[in-house]
Amino acid sequence: MNRTDQLILLPEIARIDFSDKDLLHLMKLIYNPFTGLFYRKRYAMIMQFLKGTYGSILEVGFGPGIFVPTLSKKCASIYGVDIHRDIPKVTAVLKAHTNNFTPLTADLSQIPVKAGSFDVVICMSVLEHIKDLRPAFEEMHRIMHKDGMLLLGFPIKNKITKMLFSIIGYNDSLIHPSSHEEILRAAQERFTLREENTFPSWMGKYGLYYAGSFTKK
């Protein structure tokens, strides 16, 4: 990855007074010197698939907006969809640093855009929280351009990650009803896997995180 593709971390995001406890916890994990090494690595894994510049990118579940400043440099227009109550606070910070960002408040299964709207759809650390995956993949398939790219990232479910999540205060069984294997199976009903990587790469299915690039079937 070259220097222009490195994650842009805005200090203003870390200073947002989030009312959403999950976002507040996530901020601490991302900006912490130790846990941040892993949580920031997820973005680097997705960036490996973005080899050019694009017309439009949608980040599904943009959360605190960490990824938006970096993605905004890779496209003409960047959209983010989420449902959390701190979207106005996040948007205010992002608009001060980007001129091509549009937030959408909507559920993943009902995104208010026309079919084929996006060249790239990114969904990172979202799908593992969903039990019924089919509506999510149907919607991502609908909104993606016929020659577009779907980029997915999610934790690998195994004994190691279950232990690590418990250390940082999460019950993996409760917060991640869908395993990486279930997500991949659901994805490949509507999409074709083109490229994938895991972290750490040498651990394979015993690793911590998975990222994949997909095209429409």
CATH code where residue 142 lies: 3.40.50.150
Of 23, 88, 98, nearest in space to 57 by CA: 98
pTM for the full model?
A: 0.94
Mean pLDDT, range 130-139, rounded to an integer: 97
pLDDT band at 3 (very low <50, low <70, confident <90, very high): very low
Q: What is the pLDDT of residues 67-97, one digit of tens each?
A: 999 999 999 999 999 999 999 999 999 999 9
Q: Is residue 15 pLDDT above 90, yes or no?
A: yes
The boundaries of the domain holding residue 188 are 3-216
Average pLDDT for the chain: 93
- CA-wise closest residue to 121 among 62, 59, 67: 59
Q: Look at residue 161 in the predicted model and tell me its pLDDT.
A: 87
Structurally, the chain folds into a number of domains equal to 1
Alpha-carbon torsion (60, 120, 212, 34), positive or negative:
negative
